[in-house]
């Protein structure tokens, strides 16, 4: 049973840990390794906070009230739910698709419950306590992010903070949408500029030559005497850390809830085990989901990444305080989708693939948990 719980926590970390820092990596604010290190640290802090604040969510995901108490306390039921959810999340991770461990757990609870007690599963409680928050949270995140980003952009302009596109010139031709800032010198609006290293040598401005082939947006100006770019980077890191902290605070109790209710392990050691396993899963298995969240779903800059993280952290922390089981995956993706819709950078084919993975998470988790319960009960 302990192995099943650790396996679920590992799968959760592999699919979920990087989601909070996806905007750091996607916007070029941090490298993959630095973003992953920050995600791991803040995830461990969130898991530690769950030791004090996560009691209500532990109880919510133990199966009590959904199935009879005798079934919820059985090791066969607990192991089936943990393994069914873990296998679902690991499959999605292998495909590079960000899915919700919360959804996988809900599906696994239903699948194992239907096999164990049939019509004795309280589906009405399931809908009110779990499904409704999980459906509403990504929509709320999308709308909030779509509304917030224009407000932040307006504030930036009022503070006279300018947005530049930094040009890095390498051996290949690099297409750069103007206006372009080359070492702080902005070009006038015009058509796309194609630059090679030979042309760079003839330009009347200083151009640095390097290996980077993508454009990076930077912000010029000062706010309260502080560099606008430096201030934004600091806030971006803090918001990304807040998302990881909030995710761990909300997810760690869910991962161990079924184990604690079964009596296999106490709440404190269970939460500690889950936190360590989640951190390990993120360190080992995050890469594919990181690429999808950071670069494939939408194009991000530091400002839009900060806005998306601000929305995600606020919603998930609020839900954790109310013991409402929302999906950090859905909330963070909703925020990124909202920013992409406003800026026109969303790649809707990738978004559709992610949404399809969300739809299949519940039935897949239910089916796998039902099969496992048949085998072990």
Of 192, 220, 248, the one marking the end of a domain is 220
Are 322 and 368 part of one and the same domain?
Answer: yes
Q: What is the full DSSP assignment across 252-264?
A: HHHHHHHHHHHTS
CA distances to 3, 21, 111, 318, 321 from 47, rounded to whole Å, are 19, 17, 27, 16, 14
Are 90 and 148 part of one and the same domain?
Answer: yes
Are 173 and 137 part of one and the same domain?
Answer: no
Are 40 and 180 part of one and the same domain?
Answer: no
Are 175 and 27 part of one and the same domain?
Answer: no
How many domains does the chain contain in total? 2
Of 220, 240, 256, the one marking the end of a domain is 220
Are 246 and 101 part of one and the same domain?
Answer: yes
Q: What is the full DSSP assignment across 132-174?
A: HHHHHHHHHHHHHHHHHHHHHHHHHHHTT-EEEEE--B-SS-E
Are 180 and 136 part of one and the same domain?
Answer: no
Contacts with 41 (C-beta within 8 Å, 6 or more apart), sequence order: 241
The number of residues in the chain equals 377
Are 97 and 178 part of one and the same domain?
Answer: no
Do the domain assignments include residue 225? no
Are 266 and 141 part of one and the same domain?
Answer: yes
Do the domain assignments include residue 25? yes
What is residue 370's predicted lDDT score, i.e. its pLDDT?
93
Domain extent at residue 371: 2-154+230-376
pTM listed for this prediction? 0.74
Do the domain assignments include residue 159? no
Are 82 and 189 part of one and the same domain?
Answer: no
> What is the distance between the alpha carbons of residues 152 and 231, in angstroms, rounded to a whole number?
14
> What is the distance between the alpha carbons of residues 43 and 26, in angstroms, rounded to a whole number?
19
Are 320 and 205 part of one and the same domain?
Answer: no
Contact criterion met (CB below 8 Å) for 110 and 125: no
Are 177 and 138 part of one and the same domain?
Answer: no
Q: What is the full DSSP assignment across 184-206?
A: TEEPPS-SPEEE-HHHHHHSSS-
Do the domain assignments include residue 262? yes
Read off the DSSP letter of residue 175. E
Do the domain assignments include residue 112? yes
Of 199, 220, 241, the one marking the end of a domain is 220
List per-residue pLDDT tens for the chain, 377 residues long.
678 878 888 998 999 889 889 989 988 889 999 999 999 999 999 888 877 765 555 655 555 566 676 777 788 888 888 899 999 999 999 989 999 888 888 888 889 888 888 877 766 666 655 666 667 888 888 999 999 988 988 888 888 877 766 555 444 444 344 444 444 444 444 444 444 445 445 444 444 444 444 556 667 777 777 888 888 899 999 999 988 998 888 788 777 766 665 566 666 777 778 888 888 999 998 999 999 988 888 888 888 888 888 898 888 878 767 767 677 888 888 989 999 888 888 888 898 999 899 889 989 999 999 999 998 87
> What is the distance between the alpha carbons of residues 204 and 183, in angstroms, rounded to a whole number?
12
Helix (H, G, I), strand (E, B) or coil at 215: coil
> What is the distance between the alpha carbons of residues 65 and 331, in angstroms, rounded to a whole number?
26
> What is the distance between the alpha carbons of residues 13 and 77, in angstroms, rounded to a whole number?
23
Q: Work out the burial of residue 27: count CB atoms within 10 Å of its CB; fewer than 13 is exposed, 13-18 middle, 19 or more buried.
A: buried
Do the domain assignments include residue 75? yes
Do the domain assignments include residue 9? yes
Do the domain assignments include residue 332? yes
């Amino acid at each position: 049973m302990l192995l099943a719980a650790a396996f679920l926590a590992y799968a959760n970390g592999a699919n979920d840990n990087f989601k909070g820092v996806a905007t750091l990596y996607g916007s070029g604010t941090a490298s993959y390794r630095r973003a992953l290190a920050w995600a791991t640290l803040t995830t461990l802090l969130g898991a530690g906070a769950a030791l004090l604040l996560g009691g209500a969510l532990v109880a919510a995901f133990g199966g009590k009230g959904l199935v009879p108490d005798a079934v919820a306390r059985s090791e066969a039921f607990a192991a089936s739910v943990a393994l069914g959810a873990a296998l679902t999340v690991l499959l999605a991770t292998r495909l590079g698709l960000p899915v919700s461990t919360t959804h996988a757990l809900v599906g696994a609870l239903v699948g194992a419950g239907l096999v164990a007690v049939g019509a004795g599963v309280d589906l009405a409680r399931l809908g009110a306590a779990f499904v409704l928050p999980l459906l509403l949270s990504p929509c709320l995140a999308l709308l909030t992010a779509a509304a917030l980003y224009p407000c932040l952009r307006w504030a930036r302009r009022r503070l006279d903070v300018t947005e530049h596109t930094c040009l890095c010139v390498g051996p290949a031709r690099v297409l750069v949408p103007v206006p372009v800032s080359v070492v702080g010198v902005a070009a006038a609006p015009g058509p796309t500029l194609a630059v090679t290293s030979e042309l760079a040598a003839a330009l009347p401005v200083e151009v640095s030559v390097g290996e980077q082939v993508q454009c990076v947006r930077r912000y010029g100006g000062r706010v309260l005497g502080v560099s606008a770019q430096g201030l934004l980077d600091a806030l971006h890191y803090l918001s990304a850390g807040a998302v990881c902290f909030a995710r761990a605070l909300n997810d760690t109790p869910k991962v161990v809830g079924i184990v604690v209710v079964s009596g296999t392990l106490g709440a404190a050691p269970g939460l500690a085990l889950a936190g360590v396993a989640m951190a390990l899963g993120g360190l080992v298995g995050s890469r594919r989901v990181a690429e999808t969240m950071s670069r494939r779903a939408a194009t991000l800059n530091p400002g839009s990444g900060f806005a998306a993280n601000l929305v995600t952290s606020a919603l998930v922390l609020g839900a954790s305080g109310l013991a409402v089981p929302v999906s950090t995956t859905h909330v963070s993706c909703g925020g990124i989708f909202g920013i992409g819709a406003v800026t026109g950078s969303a790649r809707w084919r990738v978004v559709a693939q992610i949404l399809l993975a969300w739809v299949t998470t519940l039935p897949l988790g239910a089916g796998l948990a039902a099969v496992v319960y048949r085998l072990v009960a």
